[in-house]
Each structure stands twice: as C-alpha cells, then as structure tokens.
Amino acid sequence: MAQERNQHVFLDDDVLAEIKHQLANIQFGSLEIQIHNGHVVQLERREKKRWGKSENAK
C-alpha cells in the first residue's frame, strides 16, 4: 500500500507566474505540470486548433 505524504509542492514566484501566463494564453488544450520531489520541473502545453465547416468552405 502506498504511504500517504503531507508534503507540499514548492512553487517559486517565477514558476507560478509562468503557469499563470500559460493558462492565460491558451484557448483550447491542456497544460501538464511535471513535479519531482515536490518541485515543478517542467510545463508542457498542448494546444488545439480547430476550424468549423463554414470557415473551410470556399
């Protein structure tokens, strides 16, 4: 059985500002946050671009 830990993720101001920036500038998609030993080590942003049928019609 996994042992439950009450450790908090460390977020410095620069990391928090970058997360906020990425979230504010994405319309459709996802933001994945990688955490190792309680520290954010990587952000991965996936964004979707979709066009409706009326926008593609010529």
Joined together, the tokens standing for residue 24 give 């504010």
Tally Cβ neighbours within 10 Å of residue 54: 6
- Cβ atoms of 47 and 27 within 8 Å: the answer is yes
Question: Hey, where are the domains in the chain?
Answer: 13-49
Give the model's pLDDT for residue 44: 97
Tally Cβ neighbours within 10 Å of residue 14: 8
- Cβ atoms of 39 and 9 within 8 Å: the answer is yes
List 47's β-bridge partners, or say none.
Answer: 29
pLDDT digits (tens, 9 = 90+) for 3-58: 666 677 878 999 999 999 999 999 999 999 999 999 999 999 999 888 887 655 55
Give the model's pLDDT for residue 58: 56
What's the pTM value of the predicted model, to 2 decimals? 0.69
